[in-house]
Amino acid sequence: MVPGFNHNIVYKGVAFHIQTEDSGTGKALITTLLYRDGTIIASKKTDYSDIIKIEMLEKVVEDLMKEQHKEMLRRLKAGEFDSRAFPGASSAGKEPDYEEKTVNTTDVASDSSKKEAASGLSLDDMILEYLASEKD
C-alpha cells in the first residue's frame, strides 16, 4: 500500500498543500485535499471498491493516486480555485467553501495509466516542471 503523497506548492505567491491518501481496501477510497493555511480549498474522492479484486491492485491504486494528485495540481495552476483561495480578489458568484467529488473507477484505472504513459512524466517530474514554470 502506498502511504500517500504530500506536496507544498507556491501559487501566486501563496503556499498551498496537496495531500493524497488511500484509505485501504477496507474502505477503498482515495482522497485528495488542497489546503491553504490549513483550510480545505478543494477535495476529490475516488471510490475504487468496484475494482478491489483486480490483479495488481496496489499498482493500479498507486497510479490512480498519482493521477488524482496531479489533477489537483493542474486545476490549482489553471486558476480553478482562485475564487476560493483568494476570496477578496474576485467578486465572482459565491462558491462552496470546498468541493468534494466522488468518482467511480470503472475504466478510470486504465485511463490513468494511459495518461501517465502519454505524459511521460512522473509525479515528481511534473512537480519540478510546475515549479520551474513559476520562476519564469
pLDDT in tens, 4-55: 999 999 999 999 999 999 999 899 999 999 999 999 999 999 999 999 999 9
Could you list the beta-strand ranges (E) of the chain: 5-11, 14-22, 29-36, 39-47, 100-104
**Mean pLDDT, to the nearest integer, of 50-70?**
95
pLDDT in tens, 80-120: 999 999 988 754 444 444 455 555 554 444 444 444 444 56
pLDDT of 3 reads 81
- What radius of gyration, in Å, describes the C-alpha atoms of the chain? 15
The 10 Å CB-count burial string (b at 16+, else e) for 57-90 is: beebbbbbbbbbbbebbeebeeebbbebbeeeee
Whether the CB-CB separation of 72 and 44 falls below 8 Å is answered with yes
pLDDT of 91 reads 45
CA distance 7 to 18: 5
The C-alpha cell of 131 is what? 515549479
pLDDT at 69 over 70: yes
Of 42, 31, 44, 36, nearest to 2 by C-alpha is 31
Q: Kindly report the pTM of this predicted structure.
A: 0.68
The C-alpha cell of 57 is what? 491492485
